[in-house]
Amino acid sequence: MNRLEWVCPACAHRNHENANTWCYGSPIRTCAKCGEEHLERRWREPAVEGFDPRTVNAGFYSKGLLVFIAFAVLAGAYTWYTIHFKGYYSMKMAMVCGLGVLGVVLCLVMIVGIKTGIVAKRQAPFMEQSIQRLRDPAYVRKLKAYGYRIPKEYDVPEEP
């Protein structure tokens, strides 16, 4: 869970709320102090905008994997060189090597999660909640008023 802060444009009150990692939920926020609604673009409505591309694209993490492997190999090679030929090592380079290995492990975890469907299974409840919100015509009208393009299956006609 993340803790997000946003400032109400009407009364400048600092609002704090818990959010899931990718901020999936209604982008319409209500100020705890004055009750005014406004749009907070950090939040994503999955049924309208889709999920964050980083959570469904294993290629993104494949590129990161290559970068972290390069960091780990280069820093490891430099550390090995300084130990064997100069008799010392740089703690900074050893830490860069360790961070490279950590990055490799984290990228592999995300790639496996995406490929096996674990990530999709974790995202399913957010999509269901989004679909439930979009079944409310008043909510859909508010989103349209804020400039959202609503998919045809959820679109409602404008009120007269």
The stretches in the chain having pLDDT less than 70 are 1, 160
Q: What are phi and psi of 33, to 5 degrees?
A: -90, -55
The domain segmentation of the chain, as residue ranges, is 2-52+128-145, 54-118
> What is the pLDDT, as a whole number, of residue 11?
95
What pLDDT, in 10s, does the model give residues 83-112? 999 888 888 888 988 999 999 999 999 999
> What is the pLDDT, as a whole number, of residue 21?
83
> What is the pLDDT, as a whole number, of residue 160?
63
- Does pTM surpass 0.95? no
What pLDDT, in 10s, does the model give residues 64-77? 999 999 999 999 99
